[in-house]
Amino acid sequence: MLSSSDTNHLLEVAERAASKAYAPFSSFRVGAAILTKAGNCFMGCNVENRSYGLTLCAERNAIAAAVASEGGETLKIRAVAVVSQGRVTCTPCGACRQCIDEFAGSDTVVLFYRDGQIQERAIAQLLPDSFKLKS
């Protein structure tokens, strides 16, 4: 389990990122914060586009920031917090689960609000039997 100070910090950073989201089409602002194994924190928010399919999710933008800073070969994600503005229920979409899993270790967890309550889930719970190139 993640410590309560890490949990609170990640939720706060994710909430701050959500306030920066560009979501004029859905009005659904999402922020994400990643804690890496190396102890760094990265944030991302959703960035929509008038060509709707080009929308970028908060989690994947946070992952991109983490990769750009730490390097994709070494990056390991300890935890990801996903928060929508107003703490409306927001679980990570399937594509983001797959992208979190790409950089996951055995103890990677995802935090999100559901019905106003913080949930902590192992990525393996959110994406069971995930695709592997080699067994």
**Other CB atoms within 10 A of residue 60 CB:** 20
Q: Is 15 in the site for ligand THU (CB under 6 A)?
A: no
* C-beta closer to ligand THU: residue 33 or 38: 33
For the bound state, the minimum distance from the C-beta of residue 37 to ligand THU, rounded and expressed in Å, comes to 22
Single out the residue of 14, 17, 23, 77 in contact with ligand THU (rule: CB under 6 A).
Answer: 23
Single out the residue of 9, 28, 65, 107 in contact with ligand THU (rule: CB under 6 A).
Answer: 28
Residue in 12, 15, 48, 59 annotated catalytic: 59
Task: Identify the H or E element spanning 55.
Answer: none
Tell me, rounded to whole angstroms, the distance of Cα 82 from its chain centroid.
5
What is the spatial distance between Cα 114 and Cα 43, in angstroms, rounded to a whole number? 21
What is the spatial distance between Cα 87 and Cα 110, in angstroms, rounded to a whole number? 15
Site residues for ligand THU, window 33-62 (CB under 6 A)? 46, 48, 55, 57-59
Q: Is 93 in the site for ligand THU (CB under 6 A)?
A: yes
Widest distance between CA atoms in the chain: 43
Residue 47 buriedness (CB in 10 A; 0-12 / 13-18 / 19+): middle
Q: Which positions are annotated as active-site residues?
A: 59
- Binding positions for ligand THU, rule: CB under 6 A: 23, 26, 28, 30, 46, 48, 55, 57-59, 92-93, 96
